[in-house]
Each structure stands twice: as C-alpha cells, then as structure tokens.
C-alpha cells in the first residue's frame, strides 16, 4: 500500500487530488537507525514495508517501547512537534521501505490543505489512543496478557521478530517468554 | 476568551468565517460531574472559565490524573474517539463556564472544514504532548519537582485549589505536601 492508497482507504475515499506535500521513498537496512536518541526529529515516515521498533533509555537499559508495522505512520513525534532532542530511538527491525515527509513541507500544507489536516488529525488521534492503550496495558496487564494482545493484533510478529525483541517489549527475560509460549500452546 | 478568540489567537489569525459547528454555553456548579465513569463521552468542551479535574479509579482509590484550566479543551477523549465507556471522570473544581460541542456536529464539520480539522489536529497534538509529559513526570520527577512544575505553569492553582486536591494529584498525603511547601518557602 502506498501513501495515496492509504489516504483513499483510511482518510477520504473521494480524494483524487495531488498529495499536497513532498514524500520521498527511502530504504533502510535491517538494524539501521532511522532516528537516534538526542536527534531533533525533522520527518514523518509512512512505513510501506517492514517493522520498526521504538526504544527508550530507562535506567541505563534500552527498553522497547513500541513496534510499528507496515501501513502506519511513525516518527519521534514529541521531538518533531516541540523541536527538542528525541528521547526515543527508532530502528529498522527488518529491511524497511518508507515514504519520508519533511515536517517543514507538511507544515506548509497544514496552512491551506484540508486533506493534510485530516491526515494529521486522524494520525495524531491514533497515536494518542495508542499511547493511552499502551499505558493502560503496562499498568494493568500481565506479561502473558500483553503477549496475547500482541499476538492477536499482529500475528506477523511471531514470524518476523526474534524472541529477545518480544521479551524486551514485554519487559521480561527470554526464558520467561518461552515459558509463556509453552503455557499457551499446551 | 471565547471560542472565536481562541481560534484567532491559537489556530488561524486570519479566520473570519462562521465557526463550522454548533457550540452551546453551559454552566456547571462547583463539584458537579461533567462526564462520569462509564459514560460514553459525546461532547468536547471549551473551558471559558474555571478549573476541572480528571479522576481515575486506580486500585479502588480515586486519583487525580490531570487538571484543565481556562482557555483549553477537555473531554474524556479516548471514550469520545472510540465510543467506549469512559475510564475517567471529569468534575468541576470551581464553578465553570464551558462551550459544549457535540462530537456528531464536529465530525460533520471534519468532512469539509479546514478550520475544524486544524483545530482538531492542533488540540489532539496538545493532548498527545500533555500525555507524554505527564507520563515522563510520573516516571522521573519527585513529588516536590512535580509540585514546582505545577506552580510554575499554573500559579493560580495555589490560589484556587484546596491542599487535598493538589496532594491527590501528586499522589502524596496532605501532610507531605505541607512539608514540601515549607521547604520551598524557607
């Protein structure tokens, strides 16, 4: 799915015009850093293909805060909006193909374009809900329940992510994840 | 500041048109519940005057999650967007005057109105940043630092909020807050 298809599928089925901001295809190799800690985020990315992870430095340990999968937008959004150094790092987990949109270009479009604002609004609503959901998950769900949620929503995770990444996302050791997996299968 | 003044101050200084959705003035008395737990949120509120608190039920204890002050938008936003029962309760801390906007009316405006989408996008960006900031504060700041942040950003809090509300927001006992206050003054 490319950006235009995404817009006609999720934002406005009647959209026929020109996309009102520049977007550039980029390819990242597996393990390549897309946005680093302390970098000021300047772009928003539409993930056409692949998986990225969002890492955070918590008590001198790198934890996985989130994963993004194909056909979604990602970036270090707080850094982008406030023009401050990023406290997260975004890394390609698999080879990734993205459409990069410079925030400068998007901001210009925000002045006059209905579709740019609809896209920005809807994607920000999604990020907001994601944040609320993840927060609630962390506060209330056991690792096993979190794993089941991830499995239900993104079965491709199991096929494409190594065990140590999933366990770092769940905040548990790989051996504990193995035990959870065995329990679920049996 | 009314809704139109808010829009020309914070969204688009050139906006001259008609506000593209209905908004109705309402008055809430002190302690009145605006949105209750388990209610499905159907409106967004622009707070013209007063202070509201957002409460959450955490381990069978009501905690204050957030305060909103005059000239900001509030509602149980997850409930509104996902049409699910609210897990927060919104209460008038002081007498409040609001402009209530039915989400049904706003959604219609989102189909065609640039200013409605700009407003929706920018307010959602603010809520997102607020969520990120509060989360970071909870994870990293001491109660004293959180109190100082609240004091610096909203000095009116001290004048208008009782000690027990501030301490419930900070997650500490009123006596601990008194000690913090004494330490700061001395």
B77 touches chain A (CB under 8 A): yes
Does the pLDDT value for residue A74 go beyond 80? yes
What residues are paired with A100 via a beta bridge? A24, A45
A113 contacts on B by Cβ (under 8 Å): 114
CA A83 from chain centre, in angstroms, equals 19
B160 touches chain A (CB under 8 A): no
Inspect the interface and report whether the beta carbons of B77 and A131 lie closer than 8 Å: no
A120 touches chain B (CB under 8 A): yes
Q: B19 Cβ partners below 8 Å, 6+ apart?
A: B3, B4, B7, B115
The ipTM estimated for the assembled molecules is 0.87
- Residues in A 125-144 with any Cβ partner in B closer than 8 A: 125, 127-129, 131-132, 135-136, 139
Mean predicted confidence (pLDDT) in A135-139: 73
Whole-angstrom distance, CA of residue B41 vs CA of residue B85: 7
Does the pLDDT value for residue A117 go beyond 80? yes
**Which band of pLDDT confidence, cut at 50, 70 and 90, is reported for residue A33?**
very high
Whole-angstrom distance, CA of residue A79 vs CA of residue B92: 33
Inspect the interface and report whether the beta carbons of B114 and A110 lie closer than 8 Å: no
Residue where the block lists tokens 């089941």 = A148
Q: How many CB atoms lie within 10 A of CB B129?
A: 15
Does the pLDDT value for residue A142 go beyond 90? no
Q: What three-state secondary structure class fits B86? A: coil
Q: Which of A37, A129, A134, A136 is nearest to A91 (CA)?
A: A37
**Which band of pLDDT confidence, cut at 50, 70 and 90, is reported for residue B62?**
confident
pLDDT of residue A95: 96
A117 touches chain B (CB under 8 A): yes
Give the one of B82, B87, B132 whose C-beta lies nearest to A129's C-beta.
Answer: B82
Mean predicted confidence (pLDDT) in A41-61: 91
Residue predicted with more confidence, A170 or B127? B127
pLDDT of residue A164: 84
Inspect the interface and report whether the beta carbons of B77 and A128 lie closer than 8 Å: yes
Inspect the interface and report whether the beta carbons of A118 and B110 lie closer than 8 Å: yes
**Rounded (10°) angle between helices A143-153 and A174-185:** 70
Q: How close does chain A come to B56, measured CA to CA in Å?
A: 12
Q: How close does chain B come to A154, measured CA to CA in Å?
A: 20
A144-180 exposure pattern, b = at least 16 Cβ within 10 A, e = fewer: bebbeebeeeeeebeeebeeebbbbbbebeeeebeeb
C-alpha torsion A110→A112→A115→A119, nearest 10: 10
Q: Return the percentage of chain B with pLDDT > 70, whole number.
A: 98
**Which band of pLDDT confidence, cut at 50, 70 and 90, is reported for residue A153?**
confident
Inspect the interface and report whether the beta carbons of B82 and A131 lie closer than 8 Å: no
A163 touches chain B (CB under 8 A): no
Q: How close does chain B come to A129, measured CA to CA in Å?
A: 6
Whole-angstrom distance, CA of residue A21 vs CA of residue A117: 12
Residue of A120, A134, A136 for testing the chain B interface, max B β-carbons within 10 Å = A120
pLDDT of residue A30: 95
How many inter-chain contacts (A to B, CB under 8 Å) are there?
Answer: 58
Residue where the block lists tokens 């609503």 = A125
**Which band of pLDDT confidence, cut at 50, 70 and 90, is reported for residue A12?**
very high
Residue pLDDT, tens place only, B84-105: 999 999 999 999 999 999 999 9
pLDDT of residue A114: 97
B54 contacts on A by Cβ (under 8 Å): none
Give the one of A117, A131, A135 whose C-beta lies nearest to B121's C-beta.
Answer: A117
A78 touches chain B (CB under 8 A): yes
**Rounded (10°) angle between helices B103-110 and B114-140:** 120
Round the average pLDDT of chain A to a whole number and report it.
Answer: 91
Q: Would you give the DSSP letter of residue B85?
A: -
Give the one of B81, B87, B135 whose C-beta lies nearest to A125's C-beta.
Answer: B81
Whole-angstrom distance, CA of residue A56 vs CA of residue B169: 26
pTM of the model: 0.88
Whole-angstrom distance, CA of residue B89 vs CA of residue B56: 7
pLDDT of residue B184: 81
Q: How close does chain A come to B185, measured CA to CA in Å?
A: 32
B1 touches chain A (CB under 8 A): no
Q: Which H/E stretch holds residue A69?
A: strand A61-69
Residue pLDDT, tens place only, B147-168: 888 888 888 777 778 888 888 8
Whole-angstrom distance, CA of residue A93 vs CA of residue B38: 39
Inspect the interface and report whether the beta carbons of A117 and B112 lie closer than 8 Å: no
């Amino acid at each position: 799915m490319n950006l235009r298809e995404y817009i006609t599928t999720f934002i406005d089925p009647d959209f026929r015009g020109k996309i009102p901001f520049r977007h550039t295809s980029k390819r990242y190799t597996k393990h390549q850093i897309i946005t680093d800690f302390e970098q000021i985020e300047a772009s928003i990315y539409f993930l056409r293909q692949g998986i990225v992870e969002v890492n955070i430095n918590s008590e001198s340990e790198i934890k996985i805060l989130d994963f993004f999968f194909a056909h979604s937008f990602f970036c270090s959004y707080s850094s982008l909006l406030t023009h401050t150094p990023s406290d997260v790092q975004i890394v390609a987990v698999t080879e990734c193909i993205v459409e990069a949109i410079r925030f400068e270009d998007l901001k210009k479009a925000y002045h006059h374009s209905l579709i740019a604002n609809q896209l920005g609004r809807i994607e920000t609503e999604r990020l907001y809900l994601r944040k609320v959901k993840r927060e609630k998950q962390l506060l209330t769900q056991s690792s096993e329940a979190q794993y089941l949620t991830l499995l239900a929503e993104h079965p491709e995770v199991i096929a494409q992510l190594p065990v140590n990444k999933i366990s770092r996302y769940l905040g548990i050791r790989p051996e504990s994840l193995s035990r959870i997996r065995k329990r679920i299968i049996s």
